[in-house]
Amino acid sequence: MFEVDGKPHVYVLAEGRAKRTEVITGLEGDARVEIVSGLAAADIVVTGGGAGITEGMPLKSANDKPRTAAETTAAEPLG
């Protein structure tokens, strides 16, 4: 997660490219942040790459079957 103009964003994988998406956060812990709005159930959140990811950058999942936002729980990291 990163901020643009003071608002939290994540990158999602959309048609093989990174798409910057504004989100609304809820509870925050040491290594986890609850996303309460801004993601669709089918969105695949980019969790690796850090500052090297840019808008529109071609990407592919490192996993055979990436988990969507709907397939994770608050206790599980996306990936």
In the chain, the number of structural domains is 1
Mean pLDDT along residues 6-18: 92
**Model confidence at 37: pLDDT above 50:** yes
**Model confidence at 47: pLDDT above 50:** yes
- Going 62 to 32 to 43 to 52, the CA torsion angle's sign is negative
Tell me the residue range of the domain where 26 lies.
Answer: 2-65
pTM, entire model? 0.75
Within-domain flag for 44? yes
Within-domain flag for 30? yes
Within-domain flag for 75? no
